[in-house]
Amino acid sequence: MAYSKTVNQSTMKTLTMKIRLYWQMTKSLQTGLLLSTGLAGYMSARCPVQTWQTLLALAGSLFLAISGSTVLNMVYDRDIDARMPRTQKRPLPMGQVRVVEAITLGVVLSAIGIGWAAILSPLYGLVVFTGLFFDVFIYTIWLKRRTPWSIVWGGIAGGMPALAGRVLGLGMIDWVGMMLAVAVLLWIPTHIMTFSLRYREDYAKAGVPTFPSAYGERITSIIIALSSIATAIAMAIAAYGIGITWGYMRLLIILSCGLLAIAIRSMLRPSFKMNFGLFKFASLYMLSSMLLVVLGVL
Amino acid sequence: MRRITPLDRIALLLTCLIAAYKVVAGVEGLPVLATWAYTAAFGVLIISGLLMIINGFDVLDSPLVVIIATIIPLGLSLGMVIENIPDWQLIYLAFVVVGFLAILLTRYLLPERAAAIALSLVHGLAGILIVGLPIAFVLRGAKPILYLFVSAGGALIGSGGILFALLKTGKPILSVEKFFALIPWILFLMSAAFVLGLGV
């Protein structure tokens, strides 16, 4: 009896530890942010079938597909992760999760996510699959180690959840959905380039080409600022197209002005501190603007 | 500069949320220009609150703070003038534009003394309007008593501004620690007072 209890406790402990490691591999913060763009895209469509069941199914399928692609990326990048201090403590480089186990996890999560999405709506499933395809195959496997411009393709993948959500709500691809995806696409360079500025030596050690290594810090800072400005413009156009109420539009304009001001200042006087502040503000901006899109159509 | 604490961040977040609520809700039946004047004032509060949450109190070191912060009293007072004494709106709008430009230009082109004079004149007049107009209108019975919250908000931000200016010029009344412990709560109370008072 006591032996069986000990075995059960030990199994539970191992299971909990595994789940914790798997959770770590899904990059929950990044996945959560992308998921929020998908939910906002869906709710922006003011679809008559906006039931909580559909919303939960959207959240579940997107979460699984995004997490699956993130895990598969980590599998492919485990060698460069091991060379960079920022990432070397991840479960794969640390040997806490075996490669076969991680591949299985990534494939299962992706397959369930895409399958679920396709059952909900074939077009929605196709957009979710396109996002995963661009992220894993085009960005990570094909381009990431070849050219710093790979981030454009990573950006396209990042924009897919917003488009997918809108497609599920509307039943078709429209210009507003595309504009929401473009806003996320333009926000992604701010995110990735700030990291590549901060961890420039790490990326160089791992042999990953980045904008700072290819074009220098000043040009990178300017591109970060320009892409933030473009994000604000794209988001404002999308919000106008969605038809959010004037009160929320005013708030969005204020946040956009804030982002523009910080971006311009960072462009005129580039420094790491300014860039990191811009990166944090841009992330907050993306989350807030998606929230405003949702609240503005309720 | 004092490090920002989680409690400071909570106060600043509340400030941002209250100001955001006012921007979204607006004030019923106002002319467009008044709505945008209030929006600009609350907008500066939101952005500066978010920047302090993200980067800490270091943002207050920037020389731009003085210029940008001017939008708060100018926007609020302009909104109040348009709302309550519309005959004066064009003259006051001209004062707002000239005052803002004066603060901007004197800061970069003229000696410190000229910049200080421009700042005190513009802030002084805007401050008198924010504190004085509600008192006058409530005494005349033209506005409900709740409108006095705007005066209270004006008095709070005025005190905060004076404390900050004295700290910057090396003649502080409060120590750096005490000032930075107080400022997020002053901002919060001020926003709450403006939101309660405006639109009644």
Per-residue model confidence as pLDDT tens digits over A52-75: 888 899 999 999 999 999 999 999
Determine contact: A282 vs chain B, CB below 8 A. no
Q: Which residues in chain B are closer than 8 Å to A246, comparing Cβ atoms?
A: 26
Check A251 against B50: CB less than 8 A apart.
no
Q: What is the pLDDT of residue A48?
A: 55
Q: What is the pLDDT of residue A199?
A: 86
Q: Say which residues have a Cβ less than 8 Å from residue A250's Cβ, sequence separation at least 6.
A: B23, B24, B26, B35, B39
Check B20 against A251: CB less than 8 A apart.
yes
Q: Which of A2-6, A270-274, B150-154 has the lowest mean pLDDT?
A: A2-6
B39 to chain A, closest Cα gap in Å? 7
Determine contact: A285 vs chain B, CB below 8 A. no
**Does the pLDDT value for residue A49 go beyond 60?**
no
The residue ranking higher by pLDDT, A2 or B80, is B80
pLDDT, average across residues A1-21: 79
Q: What is the pLDDT of residue A38?
A: 95
For residue B85, the 8-state DSSP code is -
- Residue-wise pLDDT for B140-198, tens only, equals 999 999 999 999 999 998 888 888 888 877 788 888 888 888 999 999 999 999 999 98
Sign of the C-alpha dihedral computed for residues A103, A105, A108 and A113 taken in this order = negative
Check B23 against A251: CB less than 8 A apart.
yes
State the CB neighbour count (10 A cutoff) for residue B86: 11
Check B24 against A250: CB less than 8 A apart.
yes
The residue ranking higher by pLDDT, A8 or B77, is B77
Q: How far is Cα A276 from Cα A262, in angstroms, rounded to an integer? A: 11
Minimal Cβ distance to A254: which of B39, B51, B54: B39
Q: Which residues in chain B are closer than 8 Å to A258, comparing Cβ atoms?
A: 43, 46-47, 50-51
The residue ranking higher by pLDDT, B1 or B127, is B127
Average pLDDT, chain A: 90
Q: How far is Cα B97 from Cα A64, in angstroms, rounded to an integer? A: 53
pLDDT > 90 in chain B, percent: 62
pLDDT, average across residues B116-126: 90
Q: How far is Cα A88 from Cα A285, in angstroms, rounded to an integer? A: 30
**Does the pLDDT value for residue B126 go beyond 80?**
yes
The answer to whether the CB of A286 falls within 8 A of the CB of A184 is yes
Instruction: Report which of B149, B145, B13 is spatially closest to residue B76, judged by C-alpha positions.
Output: B149
Q: What is the pLDDT of residue B46?
A: 95
Q: What is the pLDDT of residue B45?
A: 94
Q: pLDDT tier at A263 (50, 70, 90 boundaries)?
A: confident
Q: Say which residues have a Cβ less than 8 Å from residue B184's Cβ, sequence separation at least 6.
A: B7, B8, B9, B11, B12, B15, B52
Determine contact: A116 vs chain B, CB below 8 A. no
- Residue-wise pLDDT for A186-230, tens only, equals 988 888 888 888 888 889 888 899 998 999 988 888 888 889 889
Q: Taking CA atoms, what residue in B is nearest to A248? A: B24
Q: Which residues in chain B are closer than 8 Å to A255, comparing Cβ atoms?
A: 46-47
The answer to whether the CB of A289 falls within 8 A of the CB of A239 is yes
Q: Which residues in chain A are closer than 8 Å to B43, comparing Cβ atoms?
A: 254, 257-258
Q: What is the pLDDT of residue B95?
A: 95
Q: pLDDT tier at A4 (50, 70, 90 boundaries)?
A: low
Tokens 């920022």 label which residue?
A86
Q: Where are the domains of chain B?
A: 6-197
Q: Say which residues have a Cβ less than 8 Å from residue A207's Cβ, sequence separation at least 6.
A: A80, A145
Instruction: Report which of B140, B123, B147, B163 is spatially closest to residue B198, judged by C-alpha positions.
Output: B147
Check B55 against A277: CB less than 8 A apart.
yes
**Does the pLDDT value for residue B24 go beyond 90?**
yes
Minimal Cβ distance to B23: which of A250, A258, A280: A250
What's the 3-state SS for chain A? CHHHHHHHHHHHHHHHHHHHHHHHHCCHHHHHHHHHHHHHHHHHCCCCCCCHHHHHHHHHHHHHHHHHHHHHHHHHCHHHHHHCCCCCCCCCCCCCCCHHHHHHHHHHHHHHHHHHHHHHCHHHHHHHHHHHHHHHHHHHHHHCCCCCCHHHHHHHHHHHHHHHHHHHHHCCCCHHHHHHHHHHHHHHHHHHHHHHHHCHHHHHHHCCCCHHHHHCHHHHHHHHHHHHHHHHHHHHHHHHHHCCCHHHHHHHHHHHHHHHHHHHHHHHCCCHHHHHHHHHHHHHHHHHHHHHHHHHHC
Q: Say which residues have a Cβ less than 8 Å from residue A99's Cβ, sequence separation at least 6.
A: A75, A78, A92
Q: What is the pLDDT of residue B59?
A: 83
* Residue B175 DSSP SS3: coil
- Is domain A28-297 annotated with CATH 3.90.1200.10? no
Check A247 against B23: CB less than 8 A apart.
yes
**Does the pLDDT value for residue B81 go beyond 90?**
yes
pLDDT, average across residues A243-271: 88
Q: Which of residues 256-275 of A touch B (CB under 8 A)?
A: 257-258, 261-262, 265, 273
pLDDT, average across residues A104-121: 97
The residue ranking higher by pLDDT, A2 or A25, is A25
User: For residues A253-289, b (16+ Cβ closer than 10 Å) or e, as one string?
Assistant: bbbbebbbebbebbbeebeeebbbbbbbbbbbbbebb
Q: What is the pLDDT of residue B2?
A: 76
- How far the first Cα of chain B sits from its last, in Å, is 39
Q: What is the pLDDT of residue B115?
A: 85
Q: Which of residues 140-169 of A touch B (CB under 8 A)?
A: none
Give counts: helices (H), strands (E), chain B.
8, 0
pLDDT > 70 in chain A, percent: 96
Question: Which positions in chain B have a beta carbon within 8 angstroms of at least one beta carbon in chain A?
Answer: 20, 23-26, 35, 39, 42-43, 46-47, 50-51, 54-55, 64
**Does the pLDDT value for residue A298 go beyond 80?**
no
Check B23 against A284: CB less than 8 A apart.
no
Q: Which residues in chain B are closer than 8 Å to A194, comparing Cβ atoms?
A: none
Check B43 against A257: CB less than 8 A apart.
yes
pLDDT, average across residues A240-269: 89
pLDDT, average across residues A129-158: 95
Backbone angles phi, psi at B182, to 5 degrees: -85, -35
ipTM of the shown complex: 0.89
Check A247 against B24: CB less than 8 A apart.
yes
Q: What is the pLDDT of residue A95?
A: 92
Q: What is the pLDDT of residue A266?
A: 82
